[in-house]
Amino acid sequence: MKVLVIGSGGREHALAWKLAQGARVQTVYVAPGNGGTAQDPALRNLPLADPHALADFAAAEKVALTVVGPEAPLAAGVVDLFRARGLRIFGPTQAAARLESSKAYAKEFMQRHGIPTALYASFGATAAEVAAAHAHVSRHGAPIVVKADGLAAGKGVVVAMDEAAAHAAIDDMLGANALGVRHNAPGARIVIEEYMPGEEASFIVLSDGKAVLTLATSQDHKRIGDGDTGPNTGGMGAYSPAPVVTPNVHAKVMHEIILPTLAGLAKDGVPYTGFLYAGLMIDAQGQPRTVEFNCRLGDPEAEVILMRLKSDLFEVLLQAAEGQLAGIELQWDRRTALAVVMAAHGYPAAPRAGDVITGLPAGNAELQVFHAGTALDQGRLVSSGGRVLCVTALTDSVRLAQQRALEAVRQIRFDGAQWRSDIGHRAIKH
Ligand code: AMP
Ligand code: GLY
């Protein structure tokens, strides 16, 4: 069987690596892929991005299953296009992907279906609405959270610890668009929400539109610096399982968040197929609330989750794409997986490309280096994006997995490399 993975990051490298282990899988194409997927003999890069060209390829090559990694092609409707052409694909439709691509839609959906989340208000860019947004902040005070409505690669959120920061964020997002958000038509919108204290976790499930399967829990680290300091990034590291998701919290998440969300979508006429990622905030009493939904696997959460998955991912996703998920169970390695991201000089504001990378260890069952922003340049491996590598270790404890990952990180060289040495610190304290 041939499989196609759409995307080019660490998540897609991990997906392709895991899919290629499938008993019936012959070739995994990655479009467009990266330097790591180019070097892996089991994978083949495909220099295509246009959804129509990808569908033509899948049809001509009789690809058995296409799996979509990132949100952008989902929000652009790649699943709808493949399905209209009778091609098997795993992911949410464009309508269902709005749960991620529009924060205003997601908040309204959660409120209407009684799904626990922060209270919010939504504002447009007219002078009257900008004034109302400022008045809202003055009325509620800080801390308060200001979010751009649209895809922003994790950068469109300002957690304002004082009122001045919130007022500045409103002007940045509705006026100057200083964060460079790709806004939803017809123009800039923001959501202002209540600040939720607590500990975050990533809770990811997959659904075929009817049945739901939960993946292993995980937690990522969004800030660039040790001790969770500095600007937000796409994610600097992750580990699985996340001890903060106790069996009791897990049950609450399923009954209060995941199942009502899937049922609500079905009731609204947009049955959800694909990975669904609930970003959770879990308070001191163990009560989870939804920070956001993503319509895809997390990155770097996918790397640690897939490192622990023992089941044949191809067979599971094939069944899911066929609407046959009921009765399937996933097998997990009981050990801990932990990933440390190596990012480029200047990330997240202005990552530098073209640094030569050396010292990569050979992968094995307990250590894998998934590539994100890498490319091959005349036979040399060079950096080509903000997050460059995702060094992932699997072993008996969080502390040991962190040590193993960092040992490998220190062998890998490229100029200006940045990484965190405290990934998993919350679980180590637990
Ligand atoms: P988002 O893109 O919505 O996931 O937000 C990015 C990050 O901002 C989250 O991972 C949280 O750390 C933080 N955040 C977002 N919304 C809230 C909130 N209402 N209260 C506290 N922190 C938040
Ligand atoms: N690591 C966070 C995300 O994938 O959205």
Atom of ligand 1 nearest to the CA of 147: 3
User: Is the Cβ atom of 220 under 6 angstroms away from ligand 2?
Assistant: yes
CA 386 to chain centroid: 15
pLDDT band at 148 (very low <50, low <70, confident <90, very high): confident
Pocket probe mutation, ligand 2, options 12, 299, 340, 392, max atoms within 8 Å of Cβ? 299
The pTM score is: 0.93
Q: Which atom of ligand 1 lies at the shortest distance from residue 154's CA?
A: 2
Share above pLDDT 90 across residues of the chain, in percent, rounded to a whole number: 88
Span 380-411, pLDDT tens digits: 999 999 999 999 999 999 999 999 999 999 99
In tens, the pLDDT along 16-40 reads 999 999 999 999 999 999 999 999 9
Mean of the per-residue pLDDT values for the chain?
94
pLDDT (0 to 100) of residue 101:
85
Q: Is the pLDDT of residue 152 over 90?
A: no
Among residues 179, 157, 182, the alpha carbon closest in space to that of 71 is found at: 182
Q: Evaluate: CB of 224 within 6 angstroms of ligand 1.
A: no
The tens digit of pLDDT for each residue in 272-299 reads: 999 999 999 999 999 999 999 999 999 9
Question: Binning pLDDT at 50, 70 and 90, where does residue 183 land?
Answer: low
User: What tens digit of pLDDT does each residue of 319-339 get?
Assistant: 999 999 999 999 999 999 999
Q: Give mean pLDDT, residues 194-211.
A: 97
Residue-wise pLDDT for 324-377, tens only, equals: 999 999 999 999 999 999 999 999 989 999 999 999 999 999 999 999 999 999
